[in-house]
A and B are shown apart, each in its own frame.
Chain A
Amino acid sequence: MSAAEEVVAEGHEAVEAVPKRAMTLGTGTSLVVLAALLIAPVFVKNFIIFQMTMLLIYGLAVLALNILTGGSGQFSLGQSAFYAVGAYTTAVLMEHFNINYALTLPIAGVICFGFGYLFGKPALRLSGVYLALATFALATAMPQLLKLNFLEHWTGGVQGLVVTKPDAPFGLPMSQDMWLYYFTLVVTLAIYIFSVNLLRSRSGRAFMAIRDNEIAASAMGVDVALYKTLAFGVSAAITGIAGSLGAIAVQFVAPDSYTITLAISLFLGMVVGGVGWLPGSIVGAAFIIFVPNIAEGISKGLSGAVFGVLLFLVIYLVPHGARQAAILGHQLAGKLRKN
């Protein structure tokens, strides 16, 4: 086998370019969605509140992946690893060190940022399918690493750790679930606003320049290595915070909750929500939480197949995910208004 070098014309890009403006919702729509999210829990049962909390948490995790893939054009099938690190950080800090749950979030964020940044370093050399493979490896290895013997004192090994659910503070008349929902909502909003601004900033433009054409970006003076690792770090930090919230909401962490299945779910959530469209993250999260249930409702034994078929339908009919649906809806509304 010769090591002959071969020149290949550049194929289609990894990720479709999304213009910066198309990445967010208008002010009016945002306010309506926010109002709905604020009021809804008052009218529903605790279990539904819990599901809505999980929706926000997965939404955050999908958002994180969206910044990485939709923003900087890098793949990751390994988000579950960052999610796990965040969850375990919170669980260990709360149960072994009695630290307040709210304080564990920033700590988890910082630790995951470091982890993501370090993982981004070697991943710098990889792109496209190779990066997908390397992160896939990370996600598969994570549960095994969490089960390691010498960590067992802290992580509880295969058994995992039980996390205490916090009460509402200041004697507020709320159930634990409702308090946690509002707490999650505030964190989610803060991170959403941060992400929108991040993508509009100089760094965000650098991400997108790298996504669209790495060589051109570096020729324009963008420090490609720095921004690619930075995107990994930010994405990991947000995923870690989502993981922390997830640990508090589920009240339990165990290695087998954070397998490759979770990473794949988050990836699918991003595809369904629309790559690079941040509000789509919530739609994607809804897909990965509710569609498996619906699929199970249609046919118990075939739930996986139904899920796969639905996914194929999404890929064929709305390849840009929820973003495309939103644009269609917008145009339709415009037409109706004219009539």
Chain B
Amino acid sequence: MELFTNQVLAGIATGAIYACMALAVVMIYQAIDHLNFAQGEMAMFSTFISWQLMQWGLSYWAAFLITLAFSFVAGIAIERILFKPLAKAPVLTNVAGFIALFAIVNSSAGLIWDFTIKQYPTPFGSSPFLGSQLISTHQAGMIGVTVLLLVALYFFFQYTRIGLAMRAAASLPESARLVGINTSWMIALGWGMATAIGAIAGMLIAPVVFLEPNMMGGVLIYGFAAAVLGGLTSPFGAVVGGFLVGVFENLAGTYIPGVGNELKLPIALALIISVLVVKPAGLFGRQIVKRV
């Protein structure tokens, strides 16, 4: 029983990473109806910027805030310059665009900061949390930040004018335009917010997986798995999905014989496929019915 509890706790700790990433994935999916394959790389780039700022002597929180602002603006700029012209293009072209963006961001980060692994500081410290050996204060802080972010997003979408406009633009663009919402800018705003959330995820994940240009590869796939499990249309679902994937991954590694570390990734992927097949909308997502 103790093994079980420990594994669940450890799973929740890793799940926090996936939850953060899944939240960013869902944000952009809400805004543009696409999965952004370059999301992980954008988060990595933001994290490097904050690292660079700290190298220049800024404090953690100053670097944190500047990075957030930078990511927000950069997200909007990427949408305006690169993806707005593709808004009417087939899905396929958009996917190709994301892949191109992935290559560009990954390679420029490698050129600017090279591929060596770097330490990244944590604002929460890394001593054991409440005497537990399994969760460090950093991981607890990460869970806290994720939940806080979720609550903030909930209030933003539910109780602010602009949040309402964004929801309207995402669910019924034509009608939203008719009531005077600038849907094109709502999409750009969605990109900006998703990039900023990605930056937060990156800065929280970096102390755990260390900072390097390829740090997001695995995390993004788990983030996708989490988002799919929770439902791509629900930020709440994404966070729950993230924790579930983390716990599931740990339990599968412990209790299913033959599943060692090397098979953890295929397990996450099997999870994606089975969720998509059994319940494509995910646990908390909306059923979408298409008009013919």
**Which residues of A are interface residues toward B (Cβ below 8 A)?**
1, 3-16, 69, 75, 77, 122, 125-126, 128-130, 132-134, 136-138, 140-141, 144-145, 147-148, 215, 264, 267-268, 271, 275, 301-305, 307-309, 311-312, 315-316, 319
Closest to A1 in B: B284
Q: Is the CB of A137 within 8 A of B90?
A: no
Tell me the B238-286 residues at the A interface (CB within 8 Å). Answer: 262-263, 265-266, 268-270, 272-273, 276-277, 280, 284, 286
Given contacts A13-B90, A126-B280, A132-B35, contact A141 B265 (CB under 8 A): yes
Please give, as numbers and ranges, the residues of chain A lying within 8 Å of B280 by CB-CB distance: 125-126, 130
Q: Is the CB of B269 within 8 A of A267?
A: no
Extra contacts, 7 of them, besides A15-B91, A308-B101 (Cβ < 8 A), are A129-B95, A133-B228, A141-B270, A268-B96, A304-B106, A307-B103, A315-B97
A11 to B174 Cα, complex, angstroms: 11
A267 to B103 Cα, complex, angstroms: 14
Given contacts A302-B108, A305-B111, A315-B86, contact A264 B99 (CB under 8 A): yes
B89 in the interface (beta carbon within 8 A): yes
Q: Is the CB of B289 within 8 A of A8?
A: yes
B161 in the interface (beta carbon within 8 A): no
A271 to B266 Cα, complex, angstroms: 28
Given contacts A144-B262, A305-B107, contact A312 B100 (CB under 8 A): yes
A302 to B273 Cα, complex, angstroms: 35
Q: Is the CB of A304 within 8 A of B92?
A: no
Chain A min CB distance to B25 (Å): 10
Please give, as numbers and ranges, the residues of chain A lying within 8 Å of B263 by CB-CB distance: 144, 148
Q: Is the CB of B96 within 8 A of A311?
A: yes
Closest to B283 in A: A1
Q: Is the CB of B35 within 8 A of A125?
A: no
Q: Is the CB of B277 within 8 A of A125?
A: yes
Q: Is the CB of A304 within 8 A of B277?
A: no
Given contacts A12-B88, A308-B101, A311-B99, contact A137 B107 (CB under 8 A): no
Chain B contributes a number of interface residues (CB within 8 A of A) equal to 56
A148 to B263 Cα, complex, angstroms: 8
A98 to B220 Cα, complex, angstroms: 42
Please give, as numbers and ranges, the residues of chain B lying within 8 Å of A268 by CB-CB distance: 96, 99
Q: Is the CB of B91 within 8 A of A14?
A: yes
Chain B min CB distance to A33 (Å): 26
Given contacts A129-B91, A304-B107, A308-B107, contact A5 B287 (CB under 8 A): yes
Please give, as numbers and ranges, the residues of chain B lying within 8 Å of A77 by CB-CB distance: 95
Q: Is the CB of B107 within 8 A of A8?
A: no
Q: Is the CB of A7 within 8 A of B91?
A: no
Chain B min CB distance to A145 (Å): 6
A307 to B100 Cα, complex, angstroms: 7
Q: Is the CB of B234 within 8 A of A1?
A: yes
Given contacts A8-B291, A122-B277, contact A75 B286 (CB under 8 A): no
Q: Is the CB of B286 within 8 A of A3?
A: yes
Please give, as numbers and ranges, the residues of chain B lying within 8 Å of A4 by CB-CB distance: 286
Contact indicator per residue, chain B 45-64, by CB within 8 Å of chain A (1) or not (0):
00000000000000000000
Please give, as numbers and ranges, the residues of chain A lying within 8 Å of B228 by CB-CB distance: 130, 133
Please give, as numbers and ranges, the residues of chain A lying within 8 Å of B90 by CB-CB distance: 12-16
B15 in the interface (beta carbon within 8 A): no
Q: Is the CB of A8 within 8 A of B273?
A: no
Q: Per a CB cutoff under 8 Å, which of A6, A14, A138 touches B92? A: A14
A122 to B111 Cα, complex, angstroms: 41
B131 in the interface (beta carbon within 8 A): no
A308 to B284 Cα, complex, angstroms: 36
Q: Is the CB of A7 within 8 A of B289?
A: yes
Closest to B213 in A: A304
